[in-house]
Structure 1
Amino acid sequence: MTERKVLNKYFPPDYDPSKIPRLRRGDRRKQFNIRTMAPFNMRCNTCNGYIYKAKKFNSRMETAENVDYLGLRHYRFYIRCPLCCAEIIWRTDLESGDYVLESGAKRNFEALKTAEELEAKRQAEEEEELANNPMKLLEKRTDQSKQEMEMVEVIEDLKQLNQRQATMEADHVLLRQMWREEEAVKEAEKEADDALIKELLASKSEQVHLLPLEFGGENSSKPIRIPGS
């Protein structure tokens, strides 16, 4: 039974690596068939059909010539419109970290991308102006210092407010505790008074005297005990 993995190879005594024929490298622009996805929303120029981002395609990829950024290669992709089979071409753009649509379609407007580009452009112009204008740089530093002082004041105010609220909360707790104690004392006194009244009523019998219609007669008033008293 032969080995599945050959670990040792035989080299004859007359082995000469220079005599081994080398394979010729093909054209650097050789295209490869790969599976890719649309990098952005686009609209076909031929049929006006929309192609949405992340839609999968069978594409051809090649190395873009005469396009270089920091010695890195750019790649070009060829796809077919799913509606009219027109060819659409785009390539990578390493400088901006995005893709460039070369032909066959038109990229849809992207508000977020445009806003980011405008913000980056504004920041670059501001940095250039600060580098060329020392007074402008001094004004910016002064404004930053002023904003920092204002922020410190706001933070201090918030801290003081939190401390006051914490103190007020403690005071409220004490007041509630005192009020509860006073209510408990009043309730105890009321219960003691009620118990005393009941005790007095129970120990002393209440008598009611019925008077006759005419005073001074033979029938004098007699005490009558009320049942249950």
Structure 2
Amino acid sequence: MGERKGSNKYYPPDFDPKKIPRIRKPKNHQTKVRNMLPDSIRCNTCGNYISQGTKFNCRKEEVIGETYLGLKISRFYFKCTKCCAELIMKTDPQNSGYVVESGATRTYDQHEEEEQAEESGDALSSLEKRTLVSKREIEVMAALDEMKSMKARRMSVSIDSLLEGLSRRNKDDEEEAKEEDAVLIKSIRFGKQRRIDEEETDDKKRRMEEIDEKKKPKAKRLACGKSPSQISSVRIKTSKKEKTTSMGLASLCHNYGTDEED
């Protein structure tokens, strides 16, 4: 349905936008706004209670000469629902709330009740709050002193000394790392190293056996190249042969004498 409405405007050829006068609004220019009550209030003229959250058509303006940390403060004008008396409220960014300026009073004020409770009988709670605040202040002051001391130290230290200290630290770290690596390598035993150790032990055993054999006394050999044991066995054999031959000759001689007598 929007395309059926004639929204285009005709500008004649002799139109000059510079000739249009500019409307300069005052600083305290009021605008119509629909707002809701942030707190329950009571009208001072008729005593009517207006609950929190009721909607009003109010007039809004900026307060001249009042700001809080660069935030602008605005004022609202609205009327009572019963007697139509004008009521005025203002924003309070410091306490994140609203303040009733004139025409009414707030039925419940959290800040006022807290102050009254502290003054009346909650001495312990007030003391706890004060101690917490003092502790925070002390911590903040200590942190500021530390920051100042650190800045002073940094200002006194030169860049060359810092670079030298960093280089020394890096060298020390590298040396420590090398020592740790060497200790680790010595502690680790691989399979090949075990084989090498076994071979070395075998070689040592062989050498010891060879040394023991060399230390043992050798058997004496004669000029002919035979050992005394072999010679003794030969002598025993020759003596046995000689005994057999002598016994045979004796029997022959005995037999020979008997034949001649016959």
Q: Under TM normalisation by the shorter chain, which class is it? A: 0.3 to 0.5
Larger radius of gyration: 2
With normalisation by structure 1, the TM-score equals 0.44
Which of structures 1 and 2 has the larger relative contact order (alpha carbons within 8 angstroms, sep 6+)?
Answer: 1
Higher strand share: 1
